[in-house]
Structure 1
């Protein structure tokens, strides 16, 4: 059984990732932290609690959901974040009344410390939002690195264009890194094993009309119904803009590495100026595992396979 701590930032892709993590038969989800980034933290925490109530499995689900108090250096556009309210309002998540899953007593970074240190086995940390809670946890208690097997992060870009189009930014960085570049640097300066799933590989798993229809035709399975509803909230109307399954790829690759191909590279991060948050390759950087490609069909099949495990017998 693999012990996992999951830290996300509350948008559709994050909440679908939580749903799928709960279905992995050999994953013990020690804890879940939610950051106020790509989604608004309150509805994101609420939706997370409801997802665990509805789709969790006894003996391998978290005892509570932690609300982060980390704050943005650069906040995501509010237009992207609003989907967290709609997701939290889905009837399938609300037909049984108020959520029963409690909110953790401590904020996200302190909850992370407690859950990691209390684990008998080393913990896999999956981060699908900014690295702020992990960076803050390392500041409070650097000894947690001894009980972390690896960190799987959706963030950054090495060989592709960034996705930040903000005044003063040069569009070489990815949003989770731009949100708090200093946090990325602090994690990079640690001795943790880092697996980075950047825009380079996530761009290979787009959300297409065919994929939406694939889920629609399987909506007799409650988890696939929720996944289809969730992704109905997200559309990219900007020129040449496409929605990708960024966080789900990171989450699935953390447990099923056969879905992706990776290389070892030395990298660093820029923390100031027009390129703030840019991750880049350099001989003077620290070594990470960098995901380069994905078997897209196998990836989409794995989503369906796991989601069907959410059917209540």
Structure 2
């Protein structure tokens, strides 16, 4: 059994990541942190607690820690609103009482409290900004000694970014742009980092065929919830596509055979019109394991496998 800590930022992809991580047979989720970034903290925290109540394995004792980290560049509020709807889904509200507790400390301190005493090194999965980790490193740099590896959904190396904001050149990915200084701080650490950037997540789009497939599997409660969740992901922009960004990162953390990777050296820009841009830097960059390609069919099959196997404590 491997110990995992998940830090997410409260949008649909994050919730599905938590759901699937809870189903992995060889994974013990020792803690969950929620950042007030791509979703609003109140509904995101409540939804996470409800999901643990309903879909956890019997021996799971996770608490949910609310982050008090703040953005350098906040996400658009229009993206964040889906956390409210997700939290109101009937499948999460059959029971009025939420049993999974809130952690006593904010997420960056909870991360330290959960990781440091772990008898084995912890796999850290972060599907939002790196701010809580950067703050944890500042409080207790020794936390790196008990982290096996960091899997982060963030950055764009050879792909164009997804930030479309005034006075920005579009080169950054949003999790990096939310707090570029945190990225720089984590890159300065001695952590073993696996980067799941837009370069690989763009290979696993949310298609209509995938939506229909999940609809055909509604008899499985977890897959029904996945389908409902992704029904909230839509865009009215021409040629705009949603991808399974965070889910890919989460599955790669325990099933590395789903992807191919290589070692690169990367850096980040913290200020100016390219703030948050991650880029190849062979001379001064830090070594990172960079996911280059995905076996998309195997990836989608793994979602099915885990979703169908999900515990359902209704």
Normalised-by-shorter TM-score class: over 0.9
For residues 170-198 of structure 1, what are the alpha-carbon distances to aligned partners after superposition, in whole Å with 9 as ceiling and x for unaligned? 10000000000000000000000000000
For residues 238-294 of structure 1, what are the alpha-carbon distances to aligned partners after superposition, in whole Å with 9 as ceiling and x for unaligned? 122100000000000000000001000000000011000000001120000000110
State the alpha-carbon separation in 2 of the partners of residues 105 and 301 from structure 1: 37
Which residue in 2 is equivalent to 1:185?
184
Q: Which runs of 4+ in 1 moved over 3 A?
A: none
Is the alpha carbon distance of 1:116 and 1:308 closer, same or farther for their aligned partners in structure 2, counting shifts above 3 Å?
A: same
TM-score normalised to the size of structure 1?
0.99
Which residue in 2 is equivalent to 1:163?
162
State the alpha-carbon separation in 2 of the partners of residues 99 and 224 from structure 1: 22
SS in 2 for 1:150: strand
Which residue in 1 is equivalent to 2:24?
24
For residues 123-157 of structure 1, what are the alpha-carbon distances to aligned partners after superposition, in whole Å with 9 as ceiling and x for unaligned? 00000000000000000000011000000000000
* Contact preservation (8 Å) 1:32, 1:62: no
Which residue in 1 is equivalent to 2:206?
207
Q: Which consecutive residues of structure 2, in runs of 5 or more, have no partner in the other structure?
A: none
SS in 2 for 1:196: strand
Which residue in 2 is equivalent to 1:132?
131
Deviation (angstroms), 1:311: 4.4
SS in 2 for 1:156: coil
State the alpha-carbon separation in 2 of the partners of residues 99 and 220 from structure 1: 24
The question of 1:294 aligning with 2:294 is answered yes
Which residue in 1 is equivalent to 2:248?
249
The question of 1:281 aligning with 2:276 is answered no
State the alpha-carbon separation in 2 of the partners of residues 47 and 125 from structure 1: 21
Deviation (angstroms), 1:99: 1.2
State the alpha-carbon separation in 2 of the partners of residues 42 and 71 from structure 1: 15
For residues 188-209 of structure 1, what are the alpha-carbon distances to aligned partners after superposition, in whole Å with 9 as ceiling and x for unaligned? 0000000000000000000000
TM-score normalised to the size of structure 2?
0.98
State the alpha-carbon separation in 2 of the partners of residues 3 and 279 from structure 1: 29
- The RMSD of aligned alpha carbons is 0.9
State the alpha-carbon separation in 2 of the partners of residues 275 and 9 from structure 1: 23
| 1:92-241 map, 5 Å | 92-241=91-240
* Contact preservation (8 Å) 2:137, 2:143: yes
State the alpha-carbon separation in 1 of the partners of residues 233 and 79 from structure 2: 8
Which residue in 1 is equivalent to 2:41?
41
For residues 98-134 of structure 1, what are the alpha-carbon distances to aligned partners after superposition, in whole Å with 9 as ceiling and x for unaligned? 2111100000000000000110000000000000000
* Contact preservation (8 Å) 2:54, 2:311: no
| 1:262-273 map, 5 Å | 262-273=261-272
| 1:1-16 map, 5 Å | 1-16=1-16
* Contact preservation (8 Å) 1:221, 1:311: no
SS in 2 for 1:266: strand
